[in-house]
Structure 1
Amino acid sequence: MGHDLQREHVVLPVPCISFPRSCLAGGELTGRLDKSQPVVCGHTAPVLDIDWCPHNDNVIASGSEDCTVMVWEIPDGGLTRSLTEPIVTLEGHTKRVGIVLWHPTAQNVLLSAGCDNVILIWDVGCGQSIISIDETHTDLIYSVAWNRNGSLLCTSCKDKKIRIMEPRAGTIIAETEKPHEGNRPVRAVFVSDDQILTTGFSRMSERQIALWDTKAFSSPLTLQELDTSSGVLIPFFDPDTNIVYVAGKGDSSIRYFEVTDESPYIHFLSQYSSKESQRGMGYMPKRGLEVNKCEIARFYKLHERKCEPIAMTVPRKSDLFQEDLYPDTLGPDAALTAEEWLSGKNAEPLLISLKDGYVPSKSRELKVTKNILNVRLPKRSQSSNGSGACEDFTLEQLLEDIKQLKATVAEQEKRIAQLEGNASN
């Protein structure tokens, strides 16, 4: 990836952001949205994080200050009316939920991290937490990232530690203290199973980027100082091109670097700059890009009152498919079920070719075990049960609720008979 990247962008001035799926896929629908544009509005407090499901383009998860995680299904073609009822509400955190993250290979597995210093992993299919990591982090969790096949977690924490964990066993594989000397938040992402990339600050508030070998965690492979600013740098890694994009809240630029196996490991490529600062940043999955335009990345930059799509393209004269830019990439199909992953099985992501462009398959239904009695399921801590644990527990709870309901009905029938007897007298 020694090519210079061209930057192109289209301004989308919308006071309330609500993208139709066609807009996300092709970017052809732009302009100001009507004030009556339907939105997703079921939380009772501000939404802090969202994440689109990698295995269902119609499903999105959200975490909020109301201490809940909600999972929503957006109909094909976008919203026609405001959505207030989620598919499922996940309750288990005691403080606001700042991070939600879908599992990369297991279907219906969702992670959430809250300001209660707890990480919960949910089986969305039955609306329960299947793993609770509640004694590992002693302070606020800054970031969480899965590795490529979802067998490991990498977390950064206010206690100044980076931890590599096996979430199902609850064990720490490796950890390092003070990856960056400064006191401001650190972010970390996997770039391979044995390497992570972190962003942080020096003691003099200089922003830094570093690459680490998790098998020799005592010192970084490389550490580079970028500039002096207060905005926390958020890394986005593309495993297909080995490019990491770095964007900071309050910045007006996106830097990108190539990660290689040889020193100095992190090579600066270029940066996109604009006049307006960003409040947040979204990253389009690879299968949503325009291959015929050599688009290798697309961001959605959130401003005060608009959202700006930013396309990163590589200049090529040929109209032929560029195989070096587009190796087989992550597809929409899950490699594992939630039960298989929970039982200890791992699988690499299922890949697809983008040679003929990505054509979405028919709408995928998210199946959730409905609680027909409208009684909230009890919360559970970390589970070591294998396949079928979620279904068995739900059935047991339903049978108990049915028993209680029958007793209530019998009591009401007895009461009605007494009232009828009194009326006839």
Structure 2
Amino acid sequence: MSRKVVRTSKFRHVFGQAQKADQCYDDIRISQMTWDSNFCTVNPKFVGMIVDASGGGAFMVLPLSKTGRIDMSYPTVCGHTGPVLDIEFCPHNDNIIASGSEDCSVMIWEIPDAGLTTSLTEPVVKLEGHSKRVGILCWHPTAHNVLMSAGCDNVVILWNVARGEAAVRIDTVHTDVIYSACWNRDGSQILTACKDKTMRLLDPRKGTVIAEKEKPHEGSRPIRAVYVADGKILTTGFSRMSERQVALWDPNFGEPLTLQELDTSSGVLLPFYDPDTGVVFLCGKGDSSIRYFEVTDEAPYVHYLSMYSSKESQKGMGYMPKRGLEVNKCEIARFYKLHERKCEPIAMTVPRKSDLFQEDLYPDTVGPEPSAEADDWFDGKEAPPILISLKEGFATTTKTKEFKVHKTLLKTTTASVGSHQDSSGEVQSLKKEVKDLKEAIEELTKRVNELESKH
């Protein structure tokens, strides 16, 4: 008589709970585009969602606290001439958001602290270099102002956003549409999955292939790939019989460490991995459930934990960075689920009796401080993540990294980029001008006051 041993895990009883109706964002016309990106991005200040727009592309950015019914006339970010396909907040500055569109451009926007009061049509920077629609955006996790974009022109571009220019262009590697592209934890590698059924590890600065794997999944539907612990890679895809699968790979891409079949649904599974807990959440586009698994070092490596189910299917999903969670409620993840007409926060919580800080659930996590500037990173500087403790709670006490664009460096089509010395010289002279102007204004104000007091 053999008893099946149940694997012990502190995440066995993680449960998902949708927020009450008054904590949702209602009456938002979520985009009807059939594109497999998240359609939603979120940070401790704002939630951004791609919305339907007539005659162009738009997305909405709301302060997290602005729940309830959103007025039809609420301002949007609407500078693109084609539908927006992907949006992502900058990890180092909560007010900066990037958008990629069918109009082949990438735009960088700055959202005011209190949210938008009028619609935003002028980006801080417009990045042009793709010849077809731009469907994937991903900020560098640790280097400031480095953004990766991937388009339907089979090209990956790494942008130096502060200079407004393409620093690396990877255009000979992919033979078809790129389905997913992401960075590893310190941003020293890129992982892509492509319609040519090949998954590739790339050196981002050189644009060269480190390793590749053909047919990680046999089916022809889109594959998603993310890094998990120790350089391992987790993929979601489809079998030849169109069953949805999840697999785990060593970085040398031999046979999969594990390959599990889940179900026969048709939606692409979007994976969200939390390196602090080792839990991966799989959210199917068009599903009404979120499955979660624990990734460990022991076979079968990817252990099913549980599933959160609801009645309505999800059109997209935002994933809150760790520093935006409610630590005192033992929240280990929070999703922002898009319905047809609303956005619903879902908290994933580990049940604990104590309200003390749970060290085991919250090891030091990645903070908002970058560890390198764009120029230094492109020059080869390594940039391991700078970690922070969540013990005191962290959501809004951070000083965000100021977003600077060297207007003088934004390249015109032919001019080459000026050197650092020039820019610092120009900055000095601008500062001096500002100082002189301030002094002149003070002088004038004084004189006006004197004249007024005489009368």
2:141 is the counterpart of 1:104: yes
- 1:161-240 map, 5 Å: 161-215=198-252, 217-240=253-276
Q: Which runs of 5+ in 1 are unaligned?
A: 381-388, 400-425
- 1:87-102 map, 5 Å: 87-102=124-139
2:401 is the counterpart of 1:354: no
CA contact (8 A) 2:105 2:126 kept: yes
Query: 1:392 deviation in Å?
Result: 2.6
Question: In 1, Cα distance between the equivalents of 2:306 and 2:418?
Answer: 51
Question: In 2, Cα distance between the equivalents of 1:369 and 1:311?
Answer: 40
Task: Classify 1:91/1:193 alpha carbon distance in 2 versus 1 (closer, same or farther; 3 Å).
Answer: farther
- 1:1-400 map, 5 Å: 1-3=9-11, 4-10=13-19, 11=21, 12=24, 13-16=26-29, 22=45, 28-215=65-252, 217-358=253-394, 359-371=396-408, 377-378=412-413, 390-392=417-419
Amino acid at match of 1:14: D
CA contact (8 A) 1:148 1:193 kept: no
Larger CA deviation: 358-367 vs 162-171? 358-367
Aligned to 1:41, the other structure's residue is in SS state strand
CA contact (8 A) 1:256 1:268 kept: yes
Query: 1:345 deviation in Å?
Result: 1.7
Task: Classify 1:324/1:259 alpha carbon distance in 2 versus 1 (closer, same or farther; 3 Å).
Answer: same
Task: Classify 1:172/1:22 alpha carbon distance in 2 versus 1 (closer, same or farther; 3 Å).
Answer: closer
Q: Return structure 1 stretches of 4+ with deviation > 6 angstroms.
A: 17-21, 393-396
RMSD over equivalenced CA pairs, Å:
2.4
Identity of aligned pairs, percent?
A: 64
Question: In 1, Cα distance between the equivalents of 2:418 and 2:363?
Answer: 39
Question: In 1, Cα distance between the equivalents of 2:189 and 2:209?
Answer: 10
Residue by residue, what CA displacement relative to the aligned partner does 1:104-153 show, whole Å, maximum 9, x if unpaired?
A: 01000000000000000001101000000000000000000100000001
Query: 1:192 deviation in Å?
Result: 3.0
Query: 1:371 deviation in Å?
Result: 4.7
Counterpart of 1:421 in structure 2 is none
Question: In 2, Cα distance between the equivalents of 1:390 and 1:342?
Answer: 15
CA contact (8 A) 2:191 2:202 kept: yes
Q: Which runs of 5+ in 2 are unaligned?
A: 1-8, 31-39, 48-61, 427-455
Question: In 1, Cα distance between the equivalents of 2:322 and 2:197?
Answer: 33
Task: Classify 1:324/1:281 alpha carbon distance in 2 versus 1 (closer, same or farther; 3 Å).
Answer: same
Question: In 1, Cα distance between the equivalents of 2:242 and 2:421?
Answer: 51
Normalising by structure 1, we get a TM-score of 0.86
Query: 1:81 deviation in Å?
Result: 1.4
Amino acid at match of 2:143: A
Aligned to 1:340, the other structure's residue is in SS state helix
Question: In 2, Cα distance between the equivalents of 1:110 and 1:231?
Answer: 27
CA contact (8 A) 1:68 1:96 kept: yes
CA contact (8 A) 1:26 1:290 kept: no
Query: 1:363 deviation in Å?
Result: 4.7
Task: Classify 1:192/1:379 alpha carbon distance in 2 versus 1 (closer, same or farther; 3 Å).
Answer: farther
CA contact (8 A) 2:85 2:135 kept: yes
Question: In 2, Cα distance between the equivalents of 1:379 and 1:284?
Answer: 41
Amino acid at match of 2:167: I
Aligned to 2:255, the other structure's residue is in SS state coil
